[in-house]
Structure 1
Amino acid sequence: MDDRLSRARPLTLRADHVSDATMVIDERARGVLRNTWMLLGLNLAFSAAVAYFAMAAKWPAPGILLTLAGYFGLLFAVTRFRDSGVGVLLTFALTGFMGYTVGPLLNAVMALPGGSQTITLALGATAGVFLTMAGWATVTRRDLSGMGSFLFIGMVVAMLAGLGAIFFEIPALSLTVSAVVVLLMAGMIAFETQRIVRGGETNYVMATTGLFVSIFNLFTALLQLFGFAGSND
């Protein structure tokens, strides 16, 4: 009997450890979320400053090939050094580069009738979508993990269609892609936020990068949609 009791005790201890581990994971998730919001805010401010400087200096658009090379190259570097302070610095290199690429686009929109209102509307809509989807993902009990594959496939298809619209100069396809990207990025923001909250993403550098890219793509897609609508008024 004593042997059986001694063998049973570790089961109770293991249950206690599971409970403690859950509390540690929850606390870690809160820490990741807090660090992500802080780093994301700094990156958004830095990217906006670079975009403003690019607009003021009237820097030329980098071109599709340089844009893709810079984006994927810096994204690879961030991923490679995500566990060190270098990774934090590289997030600013990535977001600053993305701010530079959007500068010429903002100048093009400013040249349209009501260009400043279009940019303000796109910024407001981006903030509204982000706050709504991130807030919903934080409190909802619905599991959004199944959206990952769908969102990834959707983004690959949208990227290929977007490149086709650029190379073959098909404005209607470009607008369709922008509309699809808005929906995909709204879903991506919710998906990525819930991954952080539930402990699926434990690296705040990668969490920040993922959310920033989603916000950036959402903003540029809305900018193109609103810019097209404004040019046809």
Structure 2
Amino acid sequence: MADRFDPRTTDRLRAGSFDAQQGVGASAATDAGLRSYMLSIYNYMTSGILLTGVVALLFAQSGMAAQIMFGPGLMKYLIIFSPLAIVFAMSFGMDKFSTAALQAMFWGFALLMGLSMSTVFLVYTGESVALAFFSTAAAFAGLSLFGYTTKKDLTGWGSFLIMGLVGLIVASLLNIFLKSSVMGLVISYAAVLIFAGLTAYDTQRLKSTYAYVAGTDMMGKVVIMGALSLYLNFINMFQALLSIMGSRD
């Protein structure tokens, strides 16, 4: 009871209260920074998807898409493989490129993807495209929210999902020659599962990365590369769902 009136005890209490307030303030600042960081990633990803969609629709409606993508010539292969080349350049050259250069490459990638994906408006009905898009958006939002909020460590999913992705690519290449509709359907279902898992995994990975890049020059680059990862998950999931539920013109 005597300690209650001991000045040293009062000082200790005040110091403890000050430290606690500092801790709360630091935690609040971290949470605000994390939200801003994740919001920047989602803004870039969403803007990239919007740009891709607008370009795809306009290119399909112009009539040029049918001539180029379904006609003779090398232009269609340039359109198809250019986005892949940009992805590799961004992934392996991330440390060499500036943030502004990565931003320009991201927008160029989204634009070229729009040209490439214009064929979906020529092959599938508008209702099918809309249904697949909104189904993907709903699934992506739920999976990303799960990855952001779950306390479960999803790190172990990484190697399994990457192996699944490699297997998916090999199977897709084989089916170019086999032209099996059954195998194509199996590949589509597998793609939905793999990119659904990658959406949750990448969201948690990006959230964890914030602690290492906050306040550094790398954060801008990580935001762009994170947006690219989530963009690819969304687009691949959309294409897989479209091939499963889409009605052809």
Residues 1:34 and 2:39 aligned together: yes
Question: How far off its partner does 1:27 sit?
Answer: 5.4
Question: How far off its partner does 1:87 sit?
Answer: 0.4
Residues 1:55 and 2:74 aligned together: no
Q: Distance in 1 between matches of 2:121 and 2:198?
A: 24
> Which is further off, 80-89 or 93-102?
80-89
SS of corresponding position for 2:179: coil
| 1:136 matched residue in structure 2 | 146
Match for 1:133: what amino acid? L
| Distance verdict in 2 for CA 1:133–1:63, change over 3 Å | farther
Where does the alignment leave 5 or more consecutive residues of structure 1 unmatched?
1-18, 110-114
| Distance verdict in 2 for CA 1:218–1:144, change over 3 Å | same
| 1:149 matched residue in structure 2 | 159
Where does the alignment leave 5 or more consecutive residues of structure 2 unmatched?
1-22, 214-218
| 1:104 matched residue in structure 2 | 119
Could you tell me the TM-score, scaled by structure 1's length? 0.79
Q: Distance in 2 between matches of 1:126 and 1:163?
A: 24
Question: How far off its partner does 1:106 sit?
Answer: 2.3
Contact kept? 2:185, 2:244, Cα under 8 Å: yes
Residues 1:185 and 2:204 aligned together: no
Match for residue 228 of structure 2 among 201, 209, 218:
209
SS of corresponding position for 2:117: helix
Percent identity reads: 22
Match for residue 222 of structure 1 among 222, 233, 241:
241
| 2:4 matched residue in structure 1 | none
Contact kept? 1:154, 1:184, Cα under 8 Å: yes
| Distance verdict in 2 for CA 1:151–1:83, change over 3 Å | farther
Structure with the greater alpha carbon radius of gyration: 2
Could you tell me the TM-score, scaled by structure 2's length? 0.74
| Distance verdict in 2 for CA 1:25–1:149, change over 3 Å | farther
> Which is further off, 33-42 or 216-225?
33-42
Question: How far off its partner does 1:28 sit?
Answer: 4.8
Contact kept? 2:79, 2:115, Cα under 8 Å: no
Q: State the superposition RMSD in angstroms.
A: 2.6
Question: How far off its partner does 1:129 sit?
Answer: 0.6
Report the count of equivalent residues: 206
